[in-house]
Amino acid sequence: SSTPRLQKSKNITVTWTTDVEFSCSTSELPVTWQWFPQSPKCADIKGPEVTIYSSFMNGSHRVDSQRFNNRLQARWNPEDRNYSLFLRDAAMSDSGRFICKDAHGPKEIHELFVVAGNSILGIASE
């Protein structure tokens, strides 16, 4: 079997309270999103990573982290094979690596940097 091709990492820098979209190219469910916080201590999590969102074959989903409760929403578009996760109201402690996985393993990596002040919003550099 061929190893899945991991998309290159995307860097996203936003100011705090901005909404962020993470996209993931995948042709199938289930999809899970994991988060590796830049500072686990500030983020108040116990390990190096936490599963934050799970989507299942039957179309149901679950926000797996209390921290992101009411701030995550996903959109699955089977036509263009894209699964997007939306994070509302980004906090500086949300900074870190967001990884999208499907049944074949990791698909895309997004490095999120949430900064204070009035920088250019939502600019994604590849």
pLDDT band at 3 (very low <50, low <70, confident <90, very high): very low
The pLDDT value given to residue 2: 40
Q: What is the pLDDT of residue 37?
A: 93
State the Cα torsion 55-12-115-87 to the nearest 10°.
-20
Which DSSP string corresponds to 82-111? EEEEEE-S--GGG-EEEEEEETTEEEEEEE
The strand order across the sheet containing 10-15 reads: 61-63, 50-55, 31-37, 96-102, 105-115, 10-15, 123-125
Q: What is the CATH number of domain 10-125?
A: 2.60.40.10
Entry pTM: 0.82
The reported pLDDT for the residue numbered 4 is 44
HSE-CB for 41 with a 13 A CA cutoff: 0
Q: How confident is residue 65, by pLDDT bands cut at 50, 70 and 90?
A: confident
Give the per-residue pLDDT at 51: 93
Domain positions in the chain = 10-125
Kindly report, residue by residue over 74-124, the tens digit of the pLDDT: 988 888 888 999 999 999 999 999 999 999 999 999 999 999 976 455 555
Contact 72, 95 (CB under 8 A): no
Mean pLDDT computed over 42-53: 84
